Amino acid sequence: MLAKANRITSADDYRVIVRRGAKVAGAHTVSYLRPRESGTDARFGFIVSKKVGGAVRRNLVRRRLKAACYEALCDDVAGADIAGVDVVVRALPSASAADWASLRSEVFAAVSNRRARERAAGASPVPSKGV
């Protein structure tokens, strides 16, 4: 499970990250990356709509995405430093039929995507509210 410091909880933060973040599209997910102030922890958020399926299927997909993000956070994705980045992962309807390995590989690819991280770094950081 992701720690509180590694979760995006504000609707305003979701809105800013999705609208102004660098987009990385995969077969089952679309990820948005946005920088934060340096020295802050990476944060993750998830959007799983009803198009993915019923409540049980949506929660399964969300739990798989959370676990993949937790692994990415712990493993540091092959040396890529993900500190100071906000990531929102939007599940597409095909994610309901996707297996764990494909969702995990898409999350790792999005977080380690150097080009998207450079685009995100060019944007102004998301201001943090005193947590």
CATH code (residue 90): 3.30.230.10
Strand-strand pairing, 43-48 and 29-35: unpaired
> Residues 42-64: pLDDT tens digits?
899 999 999 999 999 999 999 99
Q: Does 127 map to a domain?
A: no
- The distance of Cα 92 from the centroid of its chain, to the nearest Å, equals 13
Q: Which residues of the chain have pLDDT under 50?
A: 78-79, 130-131
Planar angle of CA 10, 14, 18, nearest 5 degrees:
170
Torsion (CA) 91, 92, 93, 94 in degrees, nearest 10? -100
Residue 122: per-residue pLDDT: 67
Query: Does the residue 38 lie in any domain?
Result: yes
Host domain of residue 98: 4-121
DSSP 8: -
Q: Is residue 56 part of a domain?
A: yes
Q: What is the pLDDT of residue 75?
A: 72
78 within a domain of the structure (yes/no): yes
Q: In what order do the strands lie in the sheet with 22-25?
A: 22-25, 29-35, 85-91, 43-48
- 129 found inside a domain: no
pLDDT of residue 128: 55
Q: 72 near 19, Cβ under 8 Å?
A: no
pLDDT at site 57:
96
Q: Is residue 131 part of a domain?
A: no
pTM of the predicted model as reported, rounded to 2 decimal places: 0.83
> Looking at the 3D structure of the chain, how many domains does it have?
1
